[in-house]
Structure 1
Amino acid sequence: MPATNEATKVSWLFLTETEAETVDAVSARIFPSGDGKPGARETRVITYIDKTTADEDEALRRCYRDGVEALNALTSEQYGQRFAELPEERQDEVLERIEASTAPESTRTPEGPEDEGLLATFFALVWEHTIQGMFCDPQYGGNHEALGWQLVGFPGAQWGYNAEQMRAGFDSKTIPIKTLEDLRRELKRADD
């Protein structure tokens, strides 16, 4: 799901539209889709990140705000475009440079941006949240339609497993996927 969709405007809880576009582009490069397999966009990682940051402390929110600003400033200066506007190959190059950076936040280098450490911290945070959003229970905003679980063959939330399902080599993809909401519905039906 792209951060902006003209047909359906998203109402963000924390992120601005520009921040959402940028973070969505970063997460789509961390976990791209391809060969018919879902990635960060299809699983709506950006929704998970927005929901998570809205509920977190100011330091985490500040890291997102400052990180997006620094990333867009870097790419605007170097390429004349915000990060989300760059071709994917260029986005990958930028992120690879940031990932390779190990400078602490207070370090200023003559050959790099003043906030190189901020960008490294921001990238690490988006990386962590992208993985969480890919594979969390859908109730948290990511893993739309349990696509992340389908990708890796995880059956989701289950009450338990029988002896056959616990056997080595059992294909867990044969177990119907359940979410926490599915378990709640089952419990409610049992109580009725």
Structure 2
Amino acid sequence: MSKKTLPGVTRRQILSFTAASAVLGAAKAANAVTLKGTPVWSPFDASPPPQIDMDGWAFFTDAEAAAMEAIVDRLVPADNLSVGGKDAGCAVFIDRQLAGFYGTYARLYMEGPFQDGTPEQGDQSPLVPQQRYRLGLAALDKYSQSQHQKLFKDLPGDQQDPILSGLESGKIALDGIDSKLFFAIVLKNTLEGFFADPIYGGNRNMVSWKMLGFPGARYDYREYVGKHNQKLDLEPLSISGGDAWKMKS
């Protein structure tokens, strides 16, 4: 190729023109791909909370729901600081989670082989949460009837507590499911329901956040950054938004 340039045009100018053309070409391509017809971003695009457009229970039967409400009320008992687990919506939270992808472990690898592992390896059960609750709640009522001739929900608290403690320690065996495995997921999900954002069905009226003084998902904390060890008394906000999300000028 000839190294000659056009009259009055230097090599530096040619290189500059080439670079500019490349930038413009890339900009046009980017505009066509990323700026035209791009959907508007909205919260939860990647992981939306379960949308349950119905009254009542989405996964639990009425009998299962009654047992669950009794359980969560013992795990999170009402006191002078907050309402109990039932009134806080913990059972509703669990029901909504089981009706969504969590209930089937749809986002986890669940192909075998399944073998008992070491404690460090964590949960190795092939049962998904929906199965754990269905089997566990049925077995819990069966045990309660065999020992007290009543369903778990109908027992007084001083009889419910030893049963839950027995499940936690493994001293009480359940038919069809490991009692410690069942108790562990119920306790974990109950606490999640008590402290999670209300958009997921639990933490009704933000009861736990108000108890802790947690301000929630506020949009702008700049005016509070320098305030240390002070009680701010901020009304908590859900991630669904509110007036406090508006940026201050």
Distance in 2, matches of 1:77 and 1:62, equals 22
Distance in 1, matches of 2:157 and 2:200, equals 28
Q: CA deviation at 1:113?
A: 3.3
Q: CA deviation at 1:116?
A: 8.5
- Aligned match for 2:193, one of 86, 108, 133: 133
Q: Is 1:162 aligned with 2:222?
A: yes
Q: How many residues align?
A: 169
Alignment of 1:1-192 (within 5 A): 11-35=56-80, 37-55=82-100, 56-57=103-104, 59-101=128-170, 113=173, 115=175, 118-162=178-222, 164-165=224-225, 167-172=227-232, 174-183=233-242
Rg larger for: 2
> Taking structure 1 as the reference length, what is the TM-score of the superposition?
0.79
Q: RCO higher in 1 or 2 (8 Å CA, sep ≥ 6)?
A: 1
Greater fraction of residues in helix: 1
Distance in 2, matches of 1:13 and 1:139, equals 16
Distance in 2, matches of 1:166 and 1:122, equals 45
Distance in 2, matches of 1:83 and 1:165, equals 49
Choose 19-28 or 115-124, whichever is displaced more. Answer: 115-124
User: Structure 1 pair 71/158, CA: closer, same or farther in 2 (3 Å)?
Assistant: same
Distance in 2, matches of 1:64 and 1:83, equals 14
Q: CA deviation at 1:36?
A: 5.4
Deviations 1:61-106 (A, max 9, x none): 000000001111111101101111100110001111111128xxxx
Distance in 2, matches of 1:148 and 1:113, equals 33
Q: CA deviation at 1:115?
A: 3.6
Query: What code does the residue aligned with 2:237 have?
Result: K
Choose 113-122 or 16-25, whichever is displaced more. Answer: 113-122
Counterpart contact for 2:82–2:211, Cα < 8 Å = yes
User: Structure 1 pair 167/36, CA: closer, same or farther in 2 (3 Å)?
Assistant: closer
Distance in 2, matches of 1:138 and 1:17, equals 23
Please report the RMSD computed on the Cα atoms of aligned residues, expressed in angstroms.
2.3
Distance in 2, matches of 1:164 and 1:140, equals 28
Distance in 2, matches of 1:136 and 1:166, equals 27
Q: Which runs of 5+ in 2 are unaligned?
A: 1-54, 106-127
Counterpart contact for 2:81–2:211, Cα < 8 Å = no
Q: CA deviation at 1:35?
A: 2.2
Structure 2 equivalent of residue 105 of structure 1 = none
Q: Which runs of 5+ in 1 are unaligned?
A: 1-9, 103-111
Distance in 2, matches of 1:78 and 1:101, equals 17
Query: What code does the residue aligned with 1:175 have?
Result: L
Counterpart contact for 1:98–1:116, Cα < 8 Å = no
Structure 1 residue ranges (4+ consecutive) displaced by more than 4 angstroms after TM superposition: none
Counterpart contact for 2:194–2:202, Cα < 8 Å = yes
Deviations 1:131-153 (A, max 9, x none): 11001111100011111111111
Distance in 2, matches of 1:43 and 1:120, equals 25
SS of 2:240's equivalent in the other structure is: helix
